[in-house]
Amino acid sequence: MLALDDAALARVCIAATAVPASQRGQWLRDVAERIDPPPRRMLRDLPKAKGGDIGGRKSKAGGIDRHLAARARKARHRARQRAGLRVFRLTASYELIVGGLIDAGKISERDALKHSNVERVLSAMLTEWGKHWSR
């Protein structure tokens, strides 16, 4: 996320007026990516543009093609569906869930600091409960 003071934001706005209105949105995205690029972990899984004209707009070779990235996300979604997997978004008290997992010995306090570890343990527990209930 960019954190600009008022003077820096004013300079960006003034510079944006020199760019044609039809290209201004893309110009601002390019500036934002150069100033504050997304984390590498987000970039490594996204498809790269081959360069040339894509959908009526020019793309830079090696840059992230947002249309390809969206198609890749949708392909992963469909693959999960074919495998019978779904993503469930749950809202729960962090202290109760993580505290219960630690007390039950399902996860260590150190591992519980990383949210993806907690999600993995919860997923495994729910899958196991589902197998038990379906007997």
Per-residue model confidence as pLDDT tens digits over 40-82: 655 565 656 555 544 445 555 455 667 777 788 888 889 988 9
What residues have CB less than 8 Å from 87, skipping those under 6 apart? 80
What residues have CB less than 8 Å from 63, skipping those under 6 apart? 48, 49
Structure tokens at 75: 């392909």
Does the predicted model carry a pTM greater than 0.75?
no
Rounded Cα distance between 90 and 22, Å, is 41
Rounded Cα distance between 62 and 51, Å, is 7
pLDDT (tens digit, 9 = 90+) per residue, 11-32?
A: 888 888 898 989 988 888 888 7
Quickly tell me which residue has 């109760």 as its tokens: 96
